[in-house]
Homo-oligomer: A and B are copies of this chain.
Amino acid sequence: MDDIITLDYGSGGKKTSRLIEQYIVPAMDNPALAELGDGAILPGGEKLVFSTDSFVVSPRFFPGGDIGKLSVCGTVNDIAMCGGEPKYLSCSFIIEEGLPLGELEKIIASMAAAAKKAGVQIVTGDTKVVEKGRGDGLYINTAGIGILKYPGLSPRAIREGDAVLVSGTVGDHGAAVMLARHDLARGEIVSDCAALNTLAAALLSAVPETRVLRDPTRGGVATTLNEFIEGTSLGIELDEKAVPVRPAVQAACELLGLDPLYCANEGKLLAVVPEERAEEALRALRSLPEGESAARIGSVTAAFPGKLVLRTPLGGRRVLQKLTGAQLPRIC
């Protein structure tokens, strides 16, 4: 077999079959894929959560992960944030002619490992190949189905006085990818790319009154918190010194001219919980390694309707808007 992807691999003919049968199906190690039709049949019976994301991260490999791991974790997380237990994923590749097959193989192995770790099965897929110069190596779409376990999570459930929590340090993914893109990678800055379904389930089973969960990916914590409150009569006050940021990430962000509050995260969740359950929620998050640096970072207030306000360490206040423009293009 040639060791780069040529247009033939997208023809739907022999090479496409070989790519799927030799590289993709064995790596996924999943009997549901063996039939190789265009769809997978799933057992049913409960309310479902359905989500999709395309991944275009550049570079494809970065400290702490790669586009394959990201594509599995990203969709798993979207389902978990809706209160779903992720079960099945589809995956679809848009490959640029010339991609080394060895690289695709590594990425597929990484998807398989991430799926196994998250407890989900990749059950159906698709492969397209585009000409050189019409893509950028590899784009991956995943869609996912989960079973709804915790209904009712919604920004509309947020109430005055609620506590705003984050499950760990902020900005790691954005900083790691941007440094990798500029060939400035440093050992201590690693993407947080991880599946959050176990962490979300731990929180939701301890504190079923949780109002809303969201993973602050593109646009970061500041954009996601804005989405929670925009158009409502409630605001959020964020305590800058309570937001956990690794010193190396803070330094890298300064170097790159970025704000960690707008940097993408790929293994963190934001939760809004009733004030009186905040301690219990933090205990639940901290009980797992991926939530060990969970912190309360703010409160919901009626004082600034529709606004996210940052309280600085010196006691000043400024409004944080949603991200405008492209701080970090192709971060996920």
Contact = CB atoms under 8 A, between A and B. Distances in A.
Q: Copy number in this complex? A: 2
Interface of A is mostly: mixed
Interface string A194-238: 000000000000000000001101110001000100000000000
Interface stretch (A121-129, A161-169, A276-284, A286-294): A121-129
A139 B13 CA distance: 21
A92 to B, nearest CB: 4
Contact of A54 (B37, B141, B330): B141
A250 interface: no
Of residues A139, A326, A329, which shows the largest number of chain B Cβ atoms within 10 Å of its Cβ? A326
Contacts of A134: 135-136
Interface size classification for chain A: 35 or more
B35 A154 contact: yes
A145 B146 CA distance: 12
Interface stretch (A80-88, A107-115, A298-306): A80-88
A143 B178 CA distance: 30
Contact of A12 (B56, B79, B90, B217): B217
The 8 A-B residue pairs with the shortest CB-CB distance in the complex, in nearest-first order = A12-B218, A13-B323, A143-B143, A39-B51, A12-B219, A52-B90, A38-B78, A141-B141
Given A12-B323, A41-B84, 14 more contacts: A11-B327, A12-B219, A17-B227, A39-B82, A40-B51, A41-B48, A41-B50, A48-B48, A50-B143, A52-B124, A52-B126, A54-B94, A56-B130, A92-B141
